[in-house]
Amino acid sequence: MFLKRSAKVLVLSNLLLVAGCSSMGGTGNLFPAAGDNPIKIESEPSGAEVYVMGEKAGVTPLQISHKNVFPNTYPKGKESVYGRITLKKAGCLDFTRTVNAEISSVGLRAQLDCGDMNPASPSTSGDAPRSSEAVEQRLDKIKDLLNKGLITEEEAKKAREHILNDL
């Protein structure tokens, strides 16, 4: 008698589980809001090229699918760019971020570092060289960003080159 009731409970619980899964629209996605809503990407200045999984996806402002950032399958050589978005704009440092829960839900708003190309930065003379103190501060800032994990080693190298080429 006990075994018959246990078997019935087991069968009923399996039916409920299957019915619950089938009511999710057949997608099997336990978090449909994250999977269905696109990731909004904006940059200041706008017009930056957006790279996802190492491939150009468009230009900011842009919306991209989570499936593009987190594909189920991808070549082994692309492990380093899985889940990462990179923005590139001529005259600016590359901006790379790994998509996390916050970016998934509210989007990515990137402030690109375009050095002296930023019209908001006043200059007394277009030919005036930068002081060594300003260069050192910029290099220290890059080192600090690298140490905090906010930029990659490659981005730090490019930024250092950019600063030193301006001398």
pLDDT of residue 5: 60
pLDDT of residue 24: 42
Confidence of residue 142 (pLDDT cuts 50, 70, 90): confident
Confidence of residue 3 (pLDDT cuts 50, 70, 90): low
Share of the chain above pLDDT 70, in %: 67
From 68-72, 109-113, 146-150, 151-155, the region with the lowest mean pLDDT = 146-150
pLDDT higher than 80, residue 100: yes
pLDDT higher than 70, residue 122: no
DSSP result, 84-142: EEEEE-TTS--EEEE--HHHHHH-EEEE---GGG-TTS--S-TTPPPPHHHHHHHHHHH
Highest mean predicted confidence (pLDDT) among 8-12, 13-17, 63-67 = 63-67
**Residue 25 in tokens:** 């629209």
Mean pLDDT of the chain: 75
